[in-house]
A and B are shown apart, each in its own frame.
Chain A
Amino acid sequence: MASEDEVSLLVVVVDVNPIWWGQQAQREPEFTLSKCLDSVMVMGNSHLVMNRTNKLAIIASHCQESHFLYPSKHWKAGDAAGDDAVSSSRDGKYEVLAVTNDQISEEVRNLMARTEVKGHQTDTLLAGSLAKALCSGQEMKSRILVIKAAEDCALQYMNFMNVIFAAQKNSIVIDACVLATDSGLLQQACDITGGLYLKIPQKSALAQYLLWVFLPDANQRSQLVLPPPVHVDYRAACFCHRNLIEIGYVCSVCLSIFCNFSPICTTCETAFKIPLPQMVKPKKKKLKPAT
C-alpha cells in the first residue's frame, strides 16, 4: 500500500485542436468537445477522490498554445459572488471538485474565445504540452495521460522523442487514449515509458474507457486485466521517400538512411566506393571433335 503521504499527480493532456473538433462536430454531433471535456472532468474528479493526496493537472493542447486548464493562475478564491460559483456549490458536491470543475470550464471558455484562425498553424502542439506536463510533475510521483484527437505532426518528431526520453529518465509513465487515427509517436511513447496505449472504438463511451483503463495508476495495473500492449512499429523512414523500411543503406558519415544505394550521400555529399563483385569470365567451350 502506498503511504498515505505520497503525492500522486495525474496530468491530463487534452487535444483541443479547434479545427479537428469543429470537423468532428459536423461528423458526429453527439460527441463534441463538450462531451469530451465532461468525460475528462469525470475522470479528474474520480482521481481526486481516490486518495486525499492525489493531485490533478489538466493541459489543453491547442494549435496556438498549450494552456493549463487546471490549476489555473487566474482563479481568484474570493470570486464566489458570481452566479456560476453559487450554482456549482449548490448541488452539495465536494468543494474541491466543484472548484476544479469551475476552473476548468472557465479556462476552456477563455481559451476557445481567444482562438485566432491562422491557416498555417493547424497542428496540435502536443510536444510542447507534454514538455509542460513533465515540468509540472517534477517534485512528485506523476503520470501523464494524453487524449489525442487530431493526427500526428511529423515536424514535432525530434521534440517528441526528447520528451519521451526525458519522461523515461524520470520514471514518468505516459498513457495514451486515441480517439481517431492511430498515432505512431504515442505508441512509441507508451512503449518506452511503460504506459498503456488504447484506441477506443466508440468515442461516446470515452468516460467509461477512461475510468476502466486509465484511472488506476501504474502500481495497481499489474493486478488488473487490461488491454494488452500493441505491437509498435519501430521501423525507420528513409530520408528520400519517407517510406518505412526494414533493410536499408546508412551513410557512415552522417548516418542518414536511404532505401536504395547511391554512390553519393545526398545529405553530406560523401562519395562512396563499393567494390563490385568479381565477374566470372565464362569459360570458352571446347568444340567437341565430331565422331
Chain B
Amino acid sequence: MAASSEEVLLVVKKVRQKKQDGTLYLMAERIAWGPEGKDRFTVSHLYADIRCQKISPDGKAKIQLQLVLHTGESTTFHFANENSALRDRDAAKDLLQQLLPKFKKKANKELEEKNRMLQEDPVLFQLYKDLVVSQVISAEEFWANRLSMNSVNHSTSNNKQEVGISAAFLADIRPQTDGCNGLRYNLTSDIIESIFRTYPAVKQKYAENVPHNLTEKEFWTRFFQSHYFHRDRISTGLQDLFSECAKQDEKGLKSMVGQGVKNPLVDLQSLEDKALDEGYGTAATPSTSNSNRTVKENSNSAIIKRFNHHSAMVLAAGLHVEVVLQTSGWFSFHDLGDWYFPVGAIEYEDLQQEDGLKTVSLNLKKSDRYSHGPVPIQTQHYTTSQDIINSVILVQHEMANYKPCLTQVMSSTMASSAIVALSPGGVLMQAGTQQAINQMVPSEVQSELKHLYTAAGELLRHFWSCFPVNTPFLEEKVVKMRSNLERFQLTKLHPFQEKVQRQYFSTNLTGHLEEMLQTAYNKFHAWQTRRMMRKT
C-alpha cells in the first residue's frame, strides 16, 4: 500500500478505472488508484510524470478525468458515485491543478536547461550530435559533467529581478480633494509594496492588524491620518497605531548615526542588481545637540531627520540591507576598494598608520645568465692573436687603396647562376613549392576535421580522467571509454580518412588523431596487464 510517510491529500471512493470499481487516492507526490477490496494500487503516477489532465465536458453523462503522461500514455478515471460524482471529480481536478505545476517545473527545468545549453553553444551542440546522436556515448554520460558545472551558474541568474523603489513614492500619492472636507488617497499595489519595503515597521503593523482588527481600508486611513505620516510628527502623545513605528524609526536613525559614515560619497554603482552586499551609511549626520532648541528648530530638525531617514530607508531597501532591525557588520573602509571613489577626497596617506606589507625581494645571484641569448656556445674558431693581427693588417692594406670599380662587380656566369638559384625550382626556392595544407583541402573537410578533434578530445578527456583507477566505478568507466574510443574510431575516423584519401592526395590529416587514440589504447593495455598480474 501507500508508504506510511506519504501524506494522503484526498480520497475519492467509487472511481472506476478500466471498468473496475475502486478508490482514488491523491498523495503528496503521486496519484494512485486501487481496486475495491484490494490492498494494493494498480495504477500509480508521480505528478512529475503527468503532462496534463483533461476532463469530460459538462453535459456528458459520464464524468471522467483523464491524465496524460509525458510518455504519451493516458489513464482515465470514471467517477461513478451517484450523488457526488461531479463534486468529486471537480475536487480531484482542483487539487491536481494546484499540485501539477509544482512538479512540472522540476521535470521540465532540466530539459529546458539542456535545450538552452545546446542552443547557446554551437560547439556543444555539434559535440552532442557527433557523440550522442551517433551513439558513441550515451546521453547520461554526456550530461554527467556538464549539468553539474552549469547548474550553479544559472541558479543565480534565474532569480527574479528586483524592482527598485522610487524615492518620491510617498509624494506621488497626491491626495485629491473629495468635494467636501475630505481627501482621497489613491493607493496602488506598487505604492503599498514600496511602503512595506521602505518601512518594515509599517509592514509589521499591517501583518499584525489586518485582517483581524482592521480592514485594509481602515488601516490605510489610519496610516494617513496618523502623525507618523505627517510632516511635523512632534506630538507623539496621541495613542496611535503608528506611534510605535515612530519610536522605532528614531531608534533606527540613532543607530545609523552611531555607526557612522562609511561611504560619504554615495556609491551609486552599487545600486545595480548585483548579488553583492555593500555597506552603506547615511549621507550627513543631523545635528543632535539636545540643549536649547526652540520649537521652530525642533520642527526643522525633525523634518531633516525624517528626510534623511526616508532616503536611508529607500536606499537600504534597494540594497536589501536591513538598516533598522539589524546591526549587520559594515564593510571596513579598505574593503570597498580604492577605485570606488577618489581616495584623495577622503584620506591622506601621511596621516594614516603605515601598512606593514611585508614583501619578499628578488635576490638574483647570477643575473648575467639572462643576457646570454639562445646562441649555443659553439666551439669557437680559435684565433691566435697573431692571426688577428695579420688579418687586420691585410684588410688595412687592401682598403688603403680602395677605389670602387663598379663595372666589374661580378662576372656574368656568376650572375646567371645566382639567377638560376633564385628562380622557381632553384636551390633557394625549394621550400616554397610545398603548399600549406590548408590551401589544398577545402573548408568543409577542414571543419569536419575540427569536429572530429572536438569529439575525440571530449572522449579522450573522459578516458584520461579515469586514471589513476582507484574505485570500481572508475574501472568500469575506463573499460567503457575504451570501447567508446574504438567505436568512435570505427564509425567516424576511418570513413573520414578513407574519404580524404579517395578525393585528395596523400595528405595525412588524421595521423595525429590516430596517434592520440593509440596512446590511449596503449595505456589501457598496460593498465589491464598490470591488473591481471596483481590478481594472480
Q: How large is the interface on B (under 10, 10 to 19, 20 to 34, 35 or more residues)?
A: 35 or more
A64 to B480, CA, bound (A): 71
User: Cβ of B421 < 8 Å from any Cβ of A?
Assistant: yes
B window 375-397: CB within 8 A of A: 375-378, 383, 385, 387-396
Asked if A152 and B375 sit within 8 Å, CB to CB, the answer is: yes
User: Cβ of A213 < 8 Å from any Cβ of B?
Assistant: yes
Interchain nearest-CB distance for A164 vs B (Å): 11
Point out the residues of chain A lying under 8 angstroms from B217, CB to CB.
Answer: none
User: Cβ of A269 < 8 Å from any Cβ of B?
Assistant: yes
Known contacts: A34-B402, A38-B409, A205-B418. The answer to whether A161 contacts B373 by CB under 8 A is yes
A210 to B373, CA, bound (A): 29
Point out the residues of chain B lying under 8 angstroms from A256, CB to CB.
Answer: 369-370
Using CB atoms, name the residue of chain B closest to A152: B375
Asked if B419 and A212 sit within 8 Å, CB to CB, the answer is: yes
A window 83-125: CB within 8 A of B: 101, 104-105, 108-109, 112-113, 115, 117, 119, 122
Interchain nearest-CB distance for B431 vs A (Å): 4
Point out the residues of chain B lying under 8 angstroms from A204, CB to CB.
Answer: 410-411, 414
Using CB atoms, name the residue of chain A closest to B385: A119
Point out the residues of chain B lying under 8 angstroms from A226, CB to CB.
Answer: 422
A119 to B391, CA, bound (A): 12
Asked if A160 and B373 sit within 8 Å, CB to CB, the answer is: yes
Using CB atoms, name the residue of chain A closest to B426: A227
Interchain nearest-CB distance for B116 vs A (Å): 41
User: Cβ of A2 < 8 Å from any Cβ of B?
Assistant: no
User: Cβ of A35 < 8 Å from any Cβ of B?
Assistant: yes
User: Cβ of A283 < 8 Å from any Cβ of B?
Assistant: yes
User: Cβ of A140 < 8 Å from any Cβ of B?
Assistant: no
A202 to B390, CA, bound (A): 25
A269 to B396, CA, bound (A): 50
A184 to B374, CA, bound (A): 8
Point out the residues of chain A lying under 8 angstroms from B431, CB to CB.
Answer: 227-228, 230
User: Cβ of B356 < 8 Å from any Cβ of A?
Assistant: no
User: Cβ of B415 < 8 Å from any Cβ of A?
Assistant: yes
Interchain nearest-CB distance for A8 vs B (Å): 22
Interchain nearest-CB distance for B25 vs A (Å): 56
Q: Is the interface of A mostly helix, strand, loop or mixed?
A: helix
* A-side interface residues, number (CB < 8 Å): 73
Interchain nearest-CB distance for A228 vs B (Å): 4
Point out the residues of chain B lying under 8 angstroms from A35, CB to CB.
Answer: 409-410
B window 396-411: CB within 8 A of A: 396, 398-400, 402-406, 408-411
Interchain nearest-CB distance for B56 vs A (Å): 69
User: Cβ of B428 < 8 Å from any Cβ of A?
Assistant: yes
User: Cβ of B91 < 8 Å from any Cβ of A?
Assistant: no
Point out the residues of chain A lying under 8 angstroms from B378, CB to CB.
Answer: 151
Point out the residues of chain A lying under 8 angstroms from B404, CB to CB.
Answer: 37-38, 41, 101, 104-105
User: Cβ of B19 < 8 Å from any Cβ of A?
Assistant: no
A118 to B406, CA, bound (A): 33
Using CB atoms, name the residue of chain A closest to B432: A228
Asked if A254 and B362 sit within 8 Å, CB to CB, the answer is: yes
Known contacts: A18-B391, A201-B421, A206-B410. The answer to whether A227 contacts B432 by CB under 8 A is yes
Asked if B422 and A227 sit within 8 Å, CB to CB, the answer is: yes
Known contacts: A22-B392, A109-B402, A112-B400. The answer to whether A267 contacts B375 by CB under 8 A is no
Residue with the highest number of chain A CB atoms closer than 10 Å, among B374, B383, B393, B396 = B374
A112 to B116, CA, bound (A): 77
Asked if B417 and A202 sit within 8 Å, CB to CB, the answer is: yes
Asked if B402 and A105 sit within 8 Å, CB to CB, the answer is: yes
Using CB atoms, name the residue of chain A closest to B394: A22
Known contacts: A237-B376, A242-B377. The answer to whether A19 contacts B409 by CB under 8 A is no
Which of A25-33, A51-59, A168-176 binds B? A25-33
Point out the residues of chain B lying under 8 angstroms from A198, CB to CB.
Answer: 428
User: Cβ of B296 < 8 Å from any Cβ of A?
Assistant: no
Point out the residues of chain A lying under 8 angstroms from B367, CB to CB.
Answer: 267
Point out the residues of chain B lying under 8 angstroms from A22, CB to CB.
Answer: 390-395
Interchain nearest-CB distance for A203 vs B (Å): 10
User: Cβ of B334 < 8 Å from any Cβ of A?
Assistant: no
User: Cβ of A49 < 8 Å from any Cβ of B?
Assistant: no
Known contacts: A18-B395, A105-B404, A112-B399. The answer to whether A208 contacts B428 by CB under 8 A is no
Asked if A184 and B395 sit within 8 Å, CB to CB, the answer is: no
A225 to B428, CA, bound (A): 12
A201 to B404, CA, bound (A): 24
Point out the residues of chain A lying under 8 angstroms from B370, CB to CB.
Answer: 158, 256
Asked if A208 and B395 sit within 8 Å, CB to CB, the answer is: no
Known contacts: A33-B395, A202-B417, A269-B363. The answer to whether A158 contacts B385 by CB under 8 A is no
User: Cβ of B154 < 8 Å from any Cβ of A?
Assistant: no
Asked if B391 and A23 sit within 8 Å, CB to CB, the answer is: yes
User: Cβ of A165 < 8 Å from any Cβ of B?
Assistant: no
Asked if A38 and B418 sit within 8 Å, CB to CB, the answer is: no
User: Cβ of B457 < 8 Å from any Cβ of A?
Assistant: no
User: Cβ of A154 < 8 Å from any Cβ of B?
Assistant: yes
Using CB atoms, name the residue of chain B closest to A101: B404
Point out the residues of chain A lying under 8 angstroms from B239, CB to CB.
Answer: none
Interchain nearest-CB distance for A86 vs B (Å): 13
User: Cβ of B427 < 8 Å from any Cβ of A?
Assistant: yes
A242 to B371, CA, bound (A): 12
A152 to B417, CA, bound (A): 28
Asked if B414 and A37 sit within 8 Å, CB to CB, the answer is: no
Asked if B406 and A42 sit within 8 Å, CB to CB, the answer is: yes
Asked if B395 and A122 sit within 8 Å, CB to CB, the answer is: no
Task: Find A268's partner among B365, B395, B408 (CB 8 Å cutoff).
Answer: B365
Point out the residues of chain B lying under 8 angstroms from A272, CB to CB.
Answer: none
Point out the residues of chain B lying under 8 angstroms from A207, CB to CB.
Answer: 409-410, 415
A225 to B427, CA, bound (A): 14
A253 to B359, CA, bound (A): 13
B window 407-462: CB within 8 A of A: 408-411, 414-415, 417-419, 421-422, 424, 427-429, 431-432
User: Cβ of B372 < 8 Å from any Cβ of A?
Assistant: yes
Asked if B364 and A268 sit within 8 Å, CB to CB, the answer is: yes
The 8 closest A-B CB pairs, nearest first, are A22-B391, A157-B373, A205-B418, A228-B432, A112-B399, A208-B418, A237-B374, A154-B375
Chain A residues with CB under 8 Å of chain B are 18-23, 25-26, 32-35, 37-39, 41-42, 45, 101, 104-105, 108-109, 112-113, 115, 117, 119, 122, 151-152, 154-158, 160-161, 184-185, 198, 200-202, 204-209, 212-213, 225-228, 230, 233, 235-237, 239, 242-244, 253-254, 256, 266-269, 283
28 contacts between A and B (CB under 8 A): A18-B391, A18-B395, A19-B387, A21-B391, A23-B383, A25-B394, A25-B395, A34-B402, A34-B405, A41-B406, A105-B402, A113-B396, A113-B399, A117-B392, A151-B378, A154-B372, A158-B371, A201-B427, A202-B418, A202-B421, A204-B410, A205-B415, A225-B429, A242-B375, A266-B366, A267-B365, A268-B363, A269-B363
